[in-house]
Amino acid sequence: MPKPQIPGVLKGLGVTMRTAKETMFPDGMLRPPSPSKGAATVQYPHEADTPADRARGVISLKEENCTSCMLCARECPDWCIYIEAHKTLAPPRREGGKPRQVNALDRFDIDFSLCMYCGICVEVCPFEALFWSPEYEYSEIRIQDLLHDKSRLAQWFETVPDFEALESGSEVKVKKVPR
């Protein structure tokens, strides 16, 4: 006579009961139940998961490095970067030299209601003026407030993490965030 098998539905019930037990008693049955430890979720907003360092949360601007080359505004698939600049004279590098013509930023806005967080702007910037930060808690009540201007973008700079070390075997040099 073939060995009697436990019906699959009962085994399935066992799986769910086991998961319930693991959630309620993550430290074993002898300790008091602590479901908030056993659950796979975090109770936002009381606690928050920290995202990875490279997570694309918000873009930050380092104004000193920006030369208004407009590459980011051109490459953005959504055209959500608005740049206005004017030419101005900067003091010469050496004594007795000619004053240099530089671009001074009037306006550098990123409209995060349009931004698709692709990262093309950060990637194409030749002067290391844009950086990713994993900050994500900037929801607004009005959609106009999602247009971050120069000063707000500069404020995000504090949250930009350093570039992390790379896996062994990599030949890429780890860049430094210019603080």
* Residues of this chain that bind other proteins (CB under 8 A): 7-9, 11-17, 19-20, 22-24, 35-36, 38-41, 43, 51-56, 75, 77, 116-120, 123-124, 132, 164-172
H/E element holding 62?
Answer: none
C-beta closer to other proteins: residue 56 or 150 = 56
CB of 24 to other proteins, least distance (A): 5
Interior CA angle at 135 toward 63 and 117, to 5°?
A: 75
CB of 33 to other proteins, least distance (A): 9
C-beta closer to other proteins: residue 25 or 104 = 25
List, in order, residues 6 or more apart from 5 with CB less than 8 Å away.
none
C-beta closer to other proteins: residue 43 or 101 = 43
CB of 26 to other proteins, least distance (A): 10
Phi, psi of 172 (to 5 degrees): -85, 135
Distance CA 150, CA 63 (A): 8
Helix residue ranges per DSSP H, 25-59: 35-38
C-beta closer to other proteins: residue 90 or 116 = 116
C-beta closer to other proteins: residue 38 or 63 = 38
Distance CA 136, CA 147 (A): 15
Distance CA 34, CA 177 (A): 42
CB of 67 to other proteins, least distance (A): 16
- Residue 12 DSSP label: H
CB of 22 to other proteins, least distance (A): 8
